[in-house]
Structure 1
Amino acid sequence: MLSEKLKYIFDQFQHSAEFSSFKELASGHINDTYLIKTTKKPFFVLQRINHGVFKNVPELIENKVAISNHIKQKLQHLSPKKQKRQILTFLNTKSNASYFKGVEDDYWNLMQFIHKSVTFEQVESEDIAYEGGKLLGQFLTLTSDFDASTLSEVIPNFHDMSFRYREFEEALSKTSEDKLLKAQTSIQIVQDLKIEMHILQTLKESGEIKLRVTHNDTKISNVLFDKKHKGLCLIDTDTVMPGIVHYDFGDAIRTICNSAAEDEANLALVTFNMSYYKAYKKGFLQEMKQSLTPLELQYLPLGAKTMIFIIGLRFLTDFLNGDIYYKTKYPEHNLDRAKNQFKLLQSFTDQMGVDGFRV
């Protein structure tokens, strides 16, 4: 019985709470996450990390615990009245480990539940975009002095453009004539943008843009807000690893500024919401601008273009490969997703103007 299993696992951690009931939290697509209700607050969040997706779960958990502890230490001098944001708090097991390994070789971690919080699946206003940007800026600023090289790369080559192009070119060489014909326009876009889409990677590899702690999953649903829609906490830190600031800023912009669903096939409905972009950027720079180098600041908008492009490239590659990675609902689902992202990219580029990408 699931309830008994969860109670057993919950009781392997260091707490004095009494298990009362549980509720599955279904917002994530990878891990199994449960709200553990106890006889008195605080409640807890118990999570099973997907070992099939994440190959080294212990290092993943150590990453996010280390970052959480670092932020907590940075903010410990603030009084509760001045400390408006919340911090993810992880509990150790009774054997003082950061995770519990079950009999089925599954890995679990436990954190305190943040009460009186709300999430949004989509941005509904400029104010929400602004608060989301502000919270990401705070996260990156608070971790800017953390040695990112000590973090494990939980998903190797995640935003490596050269790796993604190699995957694309291999798929291109093996796909059918029919797929080549259907994807002709999208393939040409990928080929035309190859040089520009390597700019950020080249700057990172040369050391001109430094490695930082990055979150790598900055969609708005990973931001907790209070009841007044003020940002509380950035959650879901499973993908915390070394990266550059442009990855996090760009991925957030990609996910909040599309006027349509990610797989909307009617491209007339796909436009880039510039007002949300400006609001998010304003909040982000309010917290982050002093921590950015002039070069990082200069290329920040290119981060948005690059992250929109890379997911389009991945959708296209999967279409050419026969849909082996992303779940699809119909034969050309991944191609529609790719076209969607490339239309979003064009809308963004058109609105930014021909004189380049300026903050």
Structure 2
Amino acid sequence: MMLSKLNSIYACFKNDDSIISYKQLASGHINDTFLIETKKNAFFILQQINKGVFKNVPGLINNKVLISSHLQNKNTHLTDDELKRRVLCFVKTLKGYNYHTDNAGNYWNMMIYIKDSVTYDTVKCLDVAYEGGKLMGDFLNLTSDFNTNSLIEVIPKFHSMSFRFNQYNKALCIASKERLAKASAYLGLVEELKDEMHIIEELKASGDIKIRVTHNDTKISNILFDCNKKGLCVIDTDTVMPGIVHYDFGDAIRTICNEAAEDEKDLNKVKFNINYYKAYVNGFLEKMKPELTSLEIKYLPLGAKTMVFIMGLRFLTDYLNNDIYYKTSYSEHNLDRSKNQFKLLESLSSQYKEMDILNSLS
């Protein structure tokens, strides 16, 4: 994208400055995100939301702003500068809206960049796992009193296992013989685990598990840390919507406890780190345990297993569908991601008895 184009979009937001440089951030699979620097040495995140993936972008952005405002109101003890480091702060347009629509119908939002922050694609120490759990637990705790009726469902059936299996079965019917052959080793595994992988969804449908604000993309790279590896802020709230705690817990475990990146092709490097799991649990329950029922706690380990599986299934489905959802860098990128998740699932399953939440507490 040309600098002049970004400048014209940036000028639609409340500011008295102009861009001097920018770089595109490539950590996400879905949106186009830019870090911009202004003449007055201010930094912002300018993001184009993928309207092909998200069908109600205004509602999505409204979700983000509502939750950020709620968190800001819960942290009034912080100074203004500290608050801007602890909570995502969105910038309104000159017209007072939370987003700008360009001439092509693309939606843009802007937020203040949190400087001197660090992200991790993989976890390399217990401190990061513990702080990640603590920060995500705090996010869920502070939003536990938020009225979920105020939020739209950004992606309907996002973590619905029956929906994902339906997508998978349709992909099987249209996949090329070549792609089916390359994925054949995992088709039997998917069928074998089908019943177990529906348990969490059934608990949700029964009403036995509370519907609450959930982040729905709690990978470790969506948590900002300071230079001392202390948790700062939960970011990338595009998928904030009503859900259950097992989705957020499970997806966090999926990335925090994988000793390799999610698209690592050398499967020997893909291992479930039980010590990172226990560290995350300690941090998570330190903030979140008072909000959880005994039933919710009981099924947290299955939540982790379920979320690893569902991501493996989604990557596999997208591969069979010729890569129509996730951004890919090469023809078998989604297949490699899927293999990675199923190897992680195997490693997790071999240590499943050690994952009992109460026995994991130090």
Q: Do these two structures clear the TM 0.5 threshold for a shared fold by scoring above it?
A: yes
> Which residue pairs with 1:23 in the alignment?
22
Shift of 1:131: 1.0
Matches within 5 A, 1:84-99: 86-99=86-99
> Which residue pairs with 2:310 in the alignment?
310
Matches within 5 A, 1:175-214: 175=175, 183-214=183-214
For residues 106 and 182 of structure 1, the distance between their equivalents in structure 2, rounded to whole angstroms, comes to: 37
For residues 259 and 337 of structure 1, the distance between their equivalents in structure 2, rounded to whole angstroms, comes to: 14
The question of whether the paired residues in 1 share the 8 Å contact of 2:90 and 2:111 is answered with: yes
Shift of 1:208: 0.7
Q: Deviations over 1:216-269 (max 9, x none)?
A: 111122111112111110111111111111111111111122223434444333
> Which residue pairs with 2:291 in the alignment?
291
Q: Gaps (5+ residues) in structure 1?
A: none
For residues 284 and 355 of structure 2, the distance between their equivalents in structure 1, rounded to whole angstroms, comes to: 20
The question of whether the paired residues in 2 share the 8 Å contact of 1:312 and 1:339 is answered with: yes
Q: Deviations over 1:155-193 (max 9, x none)?
A: 222111001111222333455666656544422221121
Classify the secondary structure of the residue corresponding to 1:108. strand
Higher mean C-alpha deviation, range 134-143 or range 216-225: 216-225
Q: Deviations over 1:192-211 (max 9, x none)?
A: 21111111111111111111
For residues 180 and 118 of structure 1, the distance between their equivalents in structure 2, rounded to whole angstroms, comes to: 40
Shift of 1:2: 3.0
Change (3 A) 1:39 1:274: same
For residues 122 and 356 of structure 1, the distance between their equivalents in structure 2, rounded to whole angstroms, comes to: 20
The question of whether the paired residues in 1 share the 8 Å contact of 2:161 and 2:197 is answered with: yes
Change (3 A) 1:196 1:3: same
For residues 125 and 356 of structure 1, the distance between their equivalents in structure 2, rounded to whole angstroms, comes to: 18
Change (3 A) 1:98 1:332: closer
Change (3 A) 1:357 1:178: farther
Name the amino acid aligned to 2:154. V
For residues 185 and 89 of structure 1, the distance between their equivalents in structure 2, rounded to whole angstroms, comes to: 46
Shift of 1:87: 1.0
For residues 262 and 254 of structure 1, the distance between their equivalents in structure 2, rounded to whole angstroms, comes to: 9
Matches within 5 A, 1:341-352: 341-352=341-352
Change (3 A) 1:36 1:357: same
For residues 295 and 202 of structure 1, the distance between their equivalents in structure 2, rounded to whole angstroms, comes to: 13
Shift of 1:135: 0.8
For residues 331 and 34 of structure 2, the distance between their equivalents in structure 1, rounded to whole angstroms, comes to: 34
Shift of 1:111: 1.4
Identity of aligned residues (%): 58
Q: Deviations over 1:278-299 (max 9, x none)?
A: 1111111111111111111111
For residues 34 and 330 of structure 2, the distance between their equivalents in structure 1, rounded to whole angstroms, comes to: 32
Name the amino acid aligned to 1:318. D
Name the amino acid aligned to 1:238. D
Name the amino acid aligned to 1:186. Y
For residues 318 and 9 of structure 2, the distance between their equivalents in structure 1, rounded to whole angstroms, comes to: 38
For residues 184 and 49 of structure 1, the distance between their equivalents in structure 2, rounded to whole angstroms, comes to: 34
Change (3 A) 1:220 1:356: closer
Q: Gaps (5+ residues) in structure 2?
A: none
Is 2:231 the counterpart of 1:238? no
Classify the secondary structure of the residue corresponding to 2:242. strand
Shift of 1:317: 2.5
Shift of 1:352: 2.1
Q: Deviations over 1:117-175 (max 9, x none)?
A: 22222212111111111111111111111112321112222111001111222333455
> TM-score, with normalisation over the residues of structure 1?
0.90
For residues 329 and 36 of structure 2, the distance between their equivalents in structure 1, rounded to whole angstroms, comes to: 34
> Which residue pairs with 2:63 in the alignment?
63
The question of whether the paired residues in 2 share the 8 Å contact of 1:299 and 1:357 is answered with: no
Matches within 5 A, 1:1-359: 2-15=2-15, 17-26=16-25, 27-40=27-40, 42-78=42-78, 86-175=86-175, 183-326=183-326, 333-353=333-353, 357-359=356-358
Provide the aligned C-alpha RMSD in A.
2.6
Change (3 A) 1:170 1:28: closer
Change (3 A) 1:49 1:178: closer
